[in-house]
């Protein structure tokens, strides 16, 4: 059966050059404190939360990773809605400002699975794939 309804347009989060520069400096510093400072300075920017979540997950601090990822996920949902997203439709991985939100969604799924929240893990994994299958594949291969 073919879906005759048009798919909503892709949602692209706005570029934030100041937050991007702060995040690049944090990446150079390479410390949790540097990333935390970016998240505190730009709390609506999911990329900083995604970096904190990924770092915590890599250090096997699963509950901390879950908390960071959930924060970035919710801040990202707020930004998506402000950008015209209606709760469904593509959120392209190829648009770099979207990647922070998508990374948060990925780590949230993995951390939820680790703490025994199988339903949430599955929902987040499916939501990521619904946003952009390319994101799910790219993140899973890292």
Quote the mean pLDDT of the chain: 96
Rg over CA atoms, the chain: 15
More confident residue, 3 or 138: 138
**pTM over the 0.85 mark:** yes
Looking at residue 105, what is its pLDDT?
98
d(CA 48, CA 107): 13
pLDDT range class, residue 77, cuts 50, 70, 90: very high
Looking at residue 7, what is its pLDDT?
83
Looking at residue 10, what is its pLDDT?
97
Answer yes or no: are the C-beta atoms of 85 and 91 closer than 8 Å: yes
Looking at residue 142, what is its pLDDT?
80
Residues 48-60, mean pLDDT to the nearest whole number: 98
Residues 99-106, mean pLDDT to the nearest whole number: 98
Instruction: List, as one string, the DSSP characters of 29-94.
Output: HT-HHHHHHHHHHSTT-HHHHHHHHHHHHHTT-HHHHHHHHHHHHHHHHHHHHHTT--S-S---TT
pLDDT range class, residue 6, cuts 50, 70, 90: confident
């Amino acid at each position: 059966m073919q879906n005759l309804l048009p798919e909503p347009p892709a949602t692209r989060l706005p570029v934030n050059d100041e937050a991007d520069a702060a995040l690049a400096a944090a990446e150079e510093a390479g410390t949790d404190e540097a990333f935390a400072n970016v998240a505190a300075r730009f709390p609506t920017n999911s990329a900083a939360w995604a970096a904190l979540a990924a770092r915590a997950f890599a250090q096997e601090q699963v509950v901390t990773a879950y908390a960071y990822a959930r924060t970035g996920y919710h801040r990202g949902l707020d930004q998506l809605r402000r950008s015209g997203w209606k709760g469904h439709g593509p959120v392209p991985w190829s648009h770099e400002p979207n990647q922070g939100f998508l990374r948060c969604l990925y780590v949230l799924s993995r951390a939820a699975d680790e703490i025994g929240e199988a339903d949430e893990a599955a929902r987040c994994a499916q939501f990521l794939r619904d946003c952009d299958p390319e994101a799910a594949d790219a993140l899973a291969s890292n």
